[in-house]
Amino acid sequence: MKLKVFISSRNDDSIKIGGITGERLTDIRLWLKNELEQIKMFNKDFLDIRINETFGAATTRESYNECLEEVRKSDLIIALYNGFAGWAPTGVSLGICHSELSTALDISTRKTAIINIENYFEIIPKDKAEENRNEIFKTYVKNLNRFTNPLKVIGMKSNDNFKDSLLESVKTIIYNHLSDRIKISNSYYNLSGNNKTSLNWKKLKYSDRNKLITEKLNFLISNNPNFSKFISKAFSIPDNMSVEDAKSFTGRPFLKDQELVKGKNNLFGPIHFIGVYGNATEIQVKNLIGFPDLSAIRDDFGLYVWEQNTHIQLVFLIDCKTPEAIESNFILFNNWCDTTGEFENIKMRAEARFHILKAINEAKIIATKKKHSR
């Protein structure tokens, strides 16, 4: 068993501390790989540090894709952000460092970490294209909010202290990641195994599962400091989304949204939370809504879906097989909202949706008055 850790950064940039130029990032990454792979667990090697110096990536379009494939195969991705987006093939506006980070975050925020080392580098773009890539990357990283952990060099600010501090930061990230994985695996053992609660839920009829899932979700929403302010309604799919009869319990809830806003002054909503007893795919979600041109974002909790014209929003929480599993996924969704900075966007979309629905209701009143006046 080895934990595959991908360390992403620029190659040829050299650190600069107190006006003194130090080692290149490529040499520092090779040093990190050597130091980390010497760490044992029960006298066994357990870290496989992946860096592009060792899997032969060069500045070609093929190696660009090879780096992204390495990201997809890794268990943990640590990005060393120094202000440079990295090389890109002709016609591509995202540098390789930017692409590696965004690919990792698209897979899972839980398996991605950033260490901000830009204070120890001098950013001088070679040309306008590189300057543009750097600006795009800088904006992207800034919008990630609390992902940008600045490196704190312990002791004297020198080349060696920089390396030692970076090594300790990487070790801490790996330790926290392992701890997190153990907690998650414990949750899956406890929540999705054949314990008494999950066995009881397996024996339930769809109508009974639907009742339990929606009651739990409504309780979590009403007691949540963020989403209790929204007009929200909980639904369930008491089986996998591939089962047609199970999907009928939810249908297309957004079709009745205008009824939910009548007499309400919440300003935010509706946003619908759907607890799926089994699994759900992006295609299944789009088919249920009946409109393929949607933003569907998958993460550990399930899927968040947003229609960009009418601002319909739905959250599909998967594997809702016990009350604890529902709560765990609801917490994961809230964590995703916070760590990605997406909650503010969700709130603005919900406000826009509220005004759209209010306008629809007002238009109905006007149309009815005109009809009766004839």
Q: Which amino acid is at 236?
A: S
Q: What per-residue confidence (pLDDT) applies to 34? A: 96
Q: What pLDDT is stored for residue 243 in this prediction?
A: 93
* Model pTM score: 0.64
pLDDT value of residue 23: 95
Cα distances (angstroms) measured from residue 224 to each of 56, 218, 232, 269, 334: 49, 10, 11, 15, 9
The per-residue pLDDT for 256 is: 87
Q: State the average pLDDT over residues 141-146.
A: 72
Confidence at residue 191, expressed as pLDDT on a 0 to 100 scale: 53
Tell me: the pLDDT tens digits for 294-309?
888 888 899 999 998 8
- The band of 133, judged by pLDDT with boundaries at 50, 70 and 90, is very high
Question: Residue 330: pLDDT above 70?
Answer: yes
Provide the pLDDT confidence category of residue 232 given band limits of 50, 70 and 90: confident
pLDDT, mean of residues 124-129: 90
pLDDT(57) > 70: no
For residue 366, the model assigns a pLDDT of: 86
pLDDT top residue among 265 and 344? 344
Can you give the pLDDT at residue 317?
Answer: 96
Question: Residue 123 has what pLDDT?
Answer: 85
CATH of domain 3-184: 3.40.50.450
Write the pLDDT tens digit of every residue in 60-105: 667 788 888 999 999 999 999 999 999 888 878 899 999 999 999 8
Give the 3-state secondary structure of the chain. Answer: CCEEEEEECCCCCEEEECCEEEEEHHHHHHHHHHHHHCCEECCEECEEEECCCCCCCCCCHHHHHHHHHHHHHCCEEEEEECCCCCCCCCCCCCCHHHHHHHHHHHHCHHHEEEEECHHHCCCCCCCHHHHHHHHHHHHHHHCCHHHEEECCCCCCCCHHHHHHHHHHHHHHHHHHHHHHHHHHHHHHHHHHCCCHHHHHHHCCCHHHHHHHHHHHHHHHHHCCCCHHHCCEEEEEECCCCCCHHHHCCCCCHHHHHHHHCCCCCCCCCCEEEEEECCCCCHHHHHHHHCCCCCEEEEECCEEEEECCCCCCEEEEECCCCCHHHHHHHHHHHHHHHHHHCHHHHHHHHHHHHHHHHHHHHHHHHHHHHHHHHC
Please give the C-alpha separations between residue 341 and each of 225, 345, 346, in angstroms, as whole numbers.
16, 8, 9
Amino acid at 48: D
Q: Is 111 exposed, middle or buried (0-12, 13-18, 19+ CB in 10 A)?
A: buried
Please give the Cα distance from 187 to 163 (Å, whole number). Answer: 36
Give the pLDDT score at 148: 62
Sequence ranges of the chain with CATH classification 3.40.50.450:
3-184
| pLDDT for 64 | 80
pLDDT in tens, 267-323: 888 999 999 999 999 889 888 888 778 888 888 899 999 998 899 999 999 999 888
Query: Which of 60 and 219 is assigned the larger pLDDT?
Result: 219
Mean pLDDT over all residues of the chain? 88
Q: Which residue has the higher pLDDT, 84 or 200?
A: 84
Cα(328)–Cα(317) distance, rounded to whole angstroms?
A: 10
Q: How far apart are CA 109 and CA 340, in angstroms?
A: 8
The pair of three-digit structure tokens given for residue 294, joined into one six-digit string = 């949607």
pLDDT band for 146, please (50, 70, 90 cuts): low
